[in-house]
């Protein structure tokens, strides 16, 4: 299991996460092609479940688990924290796509949907999780250094 950024003491299956990303492309593609709010709202709900603690209730996560199991792929555990952070970003992108189409602003919907789709392709096809890398970068930039242990001063 990768310990690159252990923000939680849980793990998820890396292969299932990659299949999730590929599944996400279906409703996202429908939202972008049709200018429809509903597929993006479905994704927002699913990403909310995965990002804010209800992963076991996520329809996309459940479907990806079934697909991975049916292919007989052995699990590859990875820390769940970075994936949850990435899901929170997906939640934000999904809401922005939905909001754009709901307000009749297709430019907003497509502008949010295009990088969102690119991230899903990178994760699904190549295992490159942009949200996970953003989390790691944020930890390097903003994490407080651990306070050094002060040695007692010897008095004479």
Structural domain boundaries enclosing 77: 11-140
Q: Is residue 46 part of a domain?
A: yes
Q: Is residue 152 part of a domain?
A: no
Q: How many CB atoms lie within 10 A of CB 103?
A: 11
Which tokens sit at 94? 């999904």
Question: What are the two backbone dihedrals, phi and then psi, of residue 154, each rounded to the nearest 5 degrees?
Answer: -75, 130
Q: Is residue 146 part of a domain?
A: no
CB within 8 Å of 128: residues ≥ 6 apart: 122
Q: Is residue 154 part of a domain?
A: no
- The conformation of residue 8, written as its DSSP 8-state character, comes to S
- The conformation of residue 74, written as its DSSP 8-state character, comes to P
155 CB-contact burial (10 Å; exposed 0-12 / middle 13-18 / buried 19+) = exposed
Q: Is residue 71 part of a domain?
A: yes
Residue 49: which of 77, 90, 102, 18 has the closest Cα? 90
Per-residue pLDDT tens listing for the chain (156 residues): 444 445 667 888 999 999 999 999 999 999 999 999 999 999 999 999 999 988 889 999 999 999 999 999 898 998 888 899 999 999 999 999 999 999 999 999 999 999 999 999 999 999 999 998 998 888 788 775 554 545 555 565
Which residue is associated with the tokens 């929170």? 88
Q: Is residue 123 part of a domain?
A: yes
**Domain count for the chain:** 1
What are the beta bridge partners of residue 77? 13
How far is the C-alpha of 79 from the C-alpha of 96, rounded, in Å? 27
Q: How many CB atoms lie within 10 A of CB 36?
A: 17
Q: Is residue 102 part of a domain?
A: yes
Q: Is residue 43 part of a domain?
A: yes
């Amino acid at each position: 299991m990768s310990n690159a950024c252990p923000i939680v003491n849980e793990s998820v299956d890396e292969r299932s996460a990659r299949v999730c990303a590929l599944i996400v492309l279906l409703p996202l593609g429908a939202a972008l092609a049709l200018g429809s709010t509903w597929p993006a709202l479905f994704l927002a709900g699913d990403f909310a479940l995965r990002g804010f603690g209800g992963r076991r209730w996520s329809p996309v996560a459940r479907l990806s688990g079934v697909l991975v199991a049916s292919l007989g792929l052995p699990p590859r555990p990875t820390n769940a924290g970075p994936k949850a952070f990435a899901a929170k970003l997906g939640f934000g992108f999904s809401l922005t796509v939905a909001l754009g189409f709901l307000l009749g602003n297709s430019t907003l919907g497509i502008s949010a949907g295009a990088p969102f789709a690119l991230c899903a392709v990178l994760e699904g096809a190549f295992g490159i999780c942009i949200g996970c890398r953003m989390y790691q970068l944020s930890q390097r930039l903003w994490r407080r250094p651990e306070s050094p242990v002060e040695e007692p001063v010897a008095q004479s």
